[in-house]
Amino acid sequence: MTQNQWDDYSSAFGHDDLIAVLSNRRYPGEGRSGRISFVRAVGLNSDNLAFPKQIHSGYVEIASRPGIVPNTDGIISPGGSFVCSIQVADCLPVFFANTESGTVGLVHTGWRGLVSKILPTAVNSILQIGESLRDFSVLIGPSIQACCFEVRDDVIDQFVPAFYKKNSNNRYTVDLQKWAVHQLADSGITRSRVTVIDKCTFCSQDEYHSYRRNRSKAGRMIAIIGWR
Ligand SMILES: [Zn+2]
């Protein structure tokens, strides 16, 4: 097991100057200052940092300046001039990068984001800025997996039946990662361009923060993507 303070997924994108990382439980920083120090620690310029004030929505914004972007859960930087960041604790950090144009993006999504179709919305935003989906690679980072994510029947109507099954607790086990991959494929990002990190944040107690495990005491992991 690595003792680093973050997981480095940069190599999944195949370009030496692209940084894609997720802090883990060993990273001590929190909040705004923790995020800025983390950006610096991984060798990026914190003056260029753009990050959403997340609301579990289906909204995606195109970054036009650094700083806080209100009321959104996805941020895309055309040409990669800004460093994008989100925070998660069980939700899926979805990294996007086009190593031809430089465009990068990050989407925060749990089940509410998937119900709101945030991933198709992110892909549409990419198309609207005139980019080719064939040049994009996507990575879904550590997040709560089917081993640990279940919901009750009060919300199950909003889920797609192909991605859940009833379990012995009379609840429903949901595969959020499979659902996310399906939404990406439906929007034109083929499966071969998507990497899914097969690590469950709830199970991996030593490694990751988990909202479902620790509730109000849970910390957050910080995801960052940007160019050196
Ligand atoms: Zn698990």
- How far does residue 144's CA lie from ligand 1's centre (Å)? 6
157 falls within a domain: no
- Tell me: the pLDDT tens digits for 97-106? 999 999 999 9
189 falls within a domain: yes
Question: Which pLDDT band holds residue 2 (cuts at 50, 70, 90)?
Answer: very low
- Tell me: the pLDDT tens digits for 167-217? 999 999 999 999 999 999 999 999 999 999 999 999 999 999 999 999 999
What is the pLDDT at residue 85?
97
| Mean pLDDT to the nearest integer, 68-78 | 97
Determine how many CB atoms are found less than 10 A away from the CB of residue 173.
18
151 falls within a domain: no
- How far does residue 88's CA lie from ligand 1's centre (Å)? 16
Give strand pairing partners of 227.
Answer: 18
- Tell me: the pLDDT tens digits for 150-170? 999 999 999 999 999 999 999
Please tell me the total count of domains within the chain: 1
40 falls within a domain: yes
What is the pLDDT at residue 1?
44
**What is the DSSP code string of the chain?**
----SEEE-GGGGT-TTEEEEEE-TT----HHHHHHHHHHHTT--GGGEEEE---S-S-EEE--SSEEE-S-SEEEEGGG-SEEEEEESSSEEEEEEETTT--EEEEEE-HHHHHTTHHHHHHHHHHHTT--GGGEEEEE-SB--TTT-EE-TTTGGGS-GGGEEE-TTSSEEE-HHHHHHHHHHHHT--GGGEEE---BTTT-TTT---HHHHGGG---EEEEEEE-
Domain housing 190: 6-144+176-227
Residue type, 199: K
- How far does residue 150's CA lie from ligand 1's centre (Å)? 10
CATH code assigned at 62: 3.60.140.10
Q: Which residues hold their Cβ within 5 A of ligand 1, which is an ion?
A: 147-148, 200, 202-203
218 falls within a domain: yes
108 falls within a domain: yes
205 falls within a domain: yes
105 falls within a domain: yes
- How far does residue 200's CA lie from ligand 1's centre (Å)? 5
Model's pTM, two decimal places? 0.97
| Mean pLDDT to the nearest integer, 89-114 | 98
